[in-house]
Structure 1
Amino acid sequence: MEQAIKPDLRVGFVLIEQFTLAPVAGLVESLRFAADESFRSLQIYCQWDWMTLDNQAVTASCGMQVVPTQNFNLFNDYDYIVLASGLLGPARHPKPELLQALQAAYAANIPIIALDSACFILGVAGLLDGKQCAIHFTTIAEFKALFPQVQVFSDRMYVNDHNIITCPGGTAIDLAAFLIRQHCGEKRAKKSLEYLLVDEDESVNSATAAMGDAPIYANKMVLKAIAYMQANLDSHAQLKDVAEHIGTYPRHLHRLFVLNTQETPAGYWRKLRLEHGRRLLANTNAYITNIAIECGFADVSHFILWFRKVYGETPRAYRKRGQKADHFLSAAHDEDHSAVVNKAD
């Protein structure tokens, strides 16, 4: 029996009473354009669920109601949990069962995204202690007073720090573009940005300014090891070489990685290699054999085996899907151009 293709990106939205609609809409609309080969709004390559803590409808700060599509469950094979809040009242006093669920999800290495005032909820949960956080300028004074152990920024679109991503509001389209680039490739990110009428260069610059392109870990030795891994994706260096580079022993390196990243160093390095390979498949025409070599795999069979194990499809099938997205994007451009020419005639 053929293995079902795993979606590239799967998101669980947890909506808090009086949440702000704009960042939620910007994020999910970006996912919608990246989710399908054309523009039918099918949840194929990106999927999302709407959840509330009590499984009841919730009202946004603008008065619009949203009915959950899934019972509250943060452990449903999500790549990200998106916690959306808005008015400060509910965010200041989150329910204990929500805090416990978020703490359990974080302990299970599930990345959490906090939109708007949801950073207050993560602060109460203790998940921002010692981390960096992007926050709206109107609430920065209160947040700093409540959570002095958190390093806050009011001039960034989002901040990614050790599996916690904070986004102060706005439309969250820049954050969505970052997520789509990471999981679905550049072509699908471009498709979303173009149809939301967002300037691609501006989005890339915002992402760079947000310093959100890599997780931030507290341990400097782990950061140094990750930098070495990223610089040597195409090499056949071993973990003893990484340990020697950062001035420690392989056993200590293993303990540091598990403690800080909840992954072994070998697993983390393999994940970096596979992510690099997926980007090359999506954004270049290089032969799969050459990509396997560039990503440090012993041979193409080894690369295909791990790629299918992690992503649920072969590298060739993944690239084919990306080409379909590019085809529909080009066709839409041609249709728009023809409409303009016909109108002029």
Structure 2
Amino acid sequence: MTIGTRQLGSLTVSSQGLGCMGMSQAYGDTSDRTESIATIHRALELGVTLLDTANVYGSGANEELVGQAIADRRDQVVLATKFGIVRDAEGNQSAQGDPDYVRQCCDESLRRLGVDHIDLYYQHRIDSDVPTEDTVGALAELIEAGKIRHYGLSECGADTIRRAHAVHPVTAVQSEWSLWTRGIEDTVAPTCAELGIGVVPFSPLGRGFLTGAITSAAQLGEGDMRKGMPRFGEDNMAANLAIVDALKVLADERGVTAGQLALAWVQSRGENVVPIPGTKRRTYLEQNVTAAELELTADEIAAIEAAAPPEAVAGDRYPAHLQRNVGR
């Protein structure tokens, strides 16, 4: 089993990527580096070429892990990482995008990853105090210097995409997109389609919720970021589980899991769409890759969307202190 390819602008990647964040932070235990590295190696065997990390994941530890995993197979990988999220000692998050910071972060990421270039370098969050043109100007200089090959934006607004694209073509926009997070469909996704920009949905399985594996907030351990997310609160759980139950019925009819059906729906959003489901285990990776080749009919898509209408989702994506940096 190997998967096909798609285009993010002029960059050819596998039709599904691998999000590596959870190997180093956010979703519980991250101690099994051996299994995480084995998962990256298995992804490459299955034709998954796009690996996604960021300088902030595990405070650099995730880039180091990914770098270790690909050290002897760099030519098989389209390597994506990010800059732009800054956390203080109390964990408060802000965005930074001034040119000196961009250049510094790139050099630090190259060192941690152990590579001489980054294939796709994202601005993780938009700094409202720095003109987009200045940030993109620094990224264009990094492309000219050969340190990065392409650049992208993450969790941004449509106007920012247009301003950035006017300075230097944007290759990809990364944002959350799933059956329970559909905000980019209003303006961001259409803008990307118009300009020939790829879309890279993260958390296409609703941070694992759409798989049906999470039925209570009590399942989430210490250090799991989902404990602070409104949609995972017990007051919203019943309404959101009803969506998963409806997906399970449709999935059973098709002979797949609810997660595979939800992921196939994201894959169906367009030929410029390349989701990056995250996992740190080979078993879940193989389930996700199977969904990349799952073709849905128009009737199936309609049934899936009827089972998971946006208005049925209970709770916000993020708590307010994280939401304020989204959509700039």
Superposed pair shares fold, TM > 0.5: no
The TM-score with structure 2 as length reference comes to: 0.34
Structure ranking higher on relative contact order (CA contacts 8 Å, 6+ apart): 2
The TM-score with structure 1 as length reference comes to: 0.32
Question: When you count helix as a share of all residues, which structure comes out higher?
Answer: 1
